[in-house]
Structures are given as C-alpha cells and as structure tokens.
Amino acid sequence: MSSTELLIDSHCHLNYLDDPELALTTARERGVSACVCIGVDEKGWPDVAAMAEAHEDVFATAGVHPDAAVPVAQAQRWLPEALTHPRVVAVGETGLDYSGDTSAENIAIQRESFAWQLALAKEQQLPVVVHTREACDDTLDIMRQASGVIGVLHCFTETWEMAEAALALGYYISMSGIVTFKNAAQVQEVARRVPIDRLLVETDSPWLAPVPHRGKPNQPAYVADTAAFVADLRGCDLAEFKQQTSVNVLRLFDRMRLRLP
C-alpha cells in the first residue's frame, strides 16, 4: 500500500468498543487512515470528544440520536456548545426512526429535534449525519425545508427512490456492513447506482459487522471488507474505490484535517 492511499471509516462509535485503542491499532494496520467517531447523546459526548482529542486520525461529531427522543430544550443545554469543539466535523447523528415508538408525542419530539439540528448545522456551517428508518417521507420533507444544508444518509437501508431524492438535495449515501449481507439485494442495488463521487463507506461499529465477521463485534478495520465488497459489486478497482470514497468524506466533512504519513 502506498503511504498516500486513503480509507476512511465515515461512521463508527469507538467509545462503545471494548478496547478502542486496540481497535484503532488494528484499523491502522489494515490501512484505515481516519475514523469519524459519532456522538449520539449528551452522556457519551465527553468520551467522543476525548477520542478525537487523543488521536490525530479520529474526528468527532455531536448530535442527538432519534431513538432517545430528547426534547430540544434539553439538547439546547449542551449541543450548540459541543459543536464548537475544534475536532467536530458534523452535526449528528440525528434523523427520524419510526421503527420503535410511533406515538404522536414521540414523533413530534423526533421531528422537532431533527429540524432543530439541521438549523444548527446551517448556523454553524456544518454537514449533518442522518439516521433514517421507516420514516422516508418525513425525513426528506425536513431535509428539504433545511435548504443549504447537506450531509450523509448513514447506514443506508432504504429504497433507490429515497437515495435518488437525497442525492438531488446534495446528500451523500453511506454503506455499512449491511450491504455485504446475503439478503441485502435492495441495498446492493443502491450501492451499485449511487454516483461514485457521492458514496461513502462506514462500519457503524460496534454493530453490523460485515461478512466475513458477522456475529463478532464490529470495528473500524472492517471498513476494508465493506469497501472491497462494494468495489467488487461495482466492478471497480479497489484502490481507486477506497481513494474516491475517502476523498468524498473529506469533501463532505470539510473540517477534517488529515495528517498523512
């Protein structure tokens, strides 16, 4: 591998791994040049920030995950300030998840929080990391209302039509280990069709380990397996695929400053 070859895990939760230091060493050995450690709540934020402060190749995001359904008034207390941290490269993860509690109250909180985090992104000129599950129309509606903001639909599992609508808004699409699963025909179709300059890869570790690591805790090193799978799916050269998708990460998360060897 040449020293300038890039491979970036665009979405992981290093602070939830049993041994993040070992995972980072393993990732570097497999050629991973950087990881984006995603913040999902107030409680985990200090750990996410500490990861990015301790490692030149780890960057942070700060946001409130839709699963927690935290009211804006509560997130207001810490999130705007967290976003001013010098290692923060995006707002999120935020978004909508209607796969669990779909009470009117929960949905209202999620929608309000998502719209507010998009407004914060606009104000701070940051991209957003979006989680969306069983909430396609509402997710796209709220994204459309926040014109001028771009980001990534992470761990994409929706239809090509949704991907197309998000691409039209300027968003990127990120593939997790799910794309390597046998029953993932719909996700694989999206992975084939997204223009190469709008595609990212991620682990979402510690969850969703790709083939051939299924059943094990996921780690950033395994982004190499997902990259190899998608490159093969698209019939493109692996080194070129890694480079392209990494350049995409650096274009989207434009506050990332990589110190290359």
Q: List residues near Zn ion by CB under 5 A.
A: 38, 204
Question: Smallest distance from the beta carbon of 144 to Zn ion, in angstroms?
Answer: 23
Smaller CB distance to Zn ion: residue 157 or 243? 157
Query: Which CB, 38 or 209, lies closer to Zn ion?
Result: 38
- The least distance separating Zn ion from the CB of residue 235, rounded to whole angstroms, comes to 29
- Rank residues 221 and 236 by Cβ distance to Zn ion and give the closer one: 221
- To Zn ion, the closest distance from the beta carbon of 45 in angstroms equals 14
In whole angstroms, the minimum distance from the beta carbon of 180 to Zn ion comes to 17
DSSP string over the chain:
--TT---EEEEE-GGGSS-HHHHHHHHHHTT--EEEEPP-STTTHHHHHHHHHH-TTEEEEE---GGG---HHHHTTTHHHHTTSTTEEEEEEEEEE-SS---HHHHHHHHHHHHHHHHHHHHHT--EEEEEES-HHHHHHHHHHSTT--EEE-S--S-HHHHHHHHHTT-EEEE-GGGGSTT-HHHHHHHHHS-GGGEEE---TTS-PPTTSTTSPP-GGGHHHHHHHHHHHHT--HHHHHHHHHHHHHHHSTT------
Shortest distance, position 204 Cβ to Zn ion, whole Å = 5
CB of 43 or CB of 144, closer to Zn ion: 43
Closest to Zn ion by CB, 41 or 238: 41
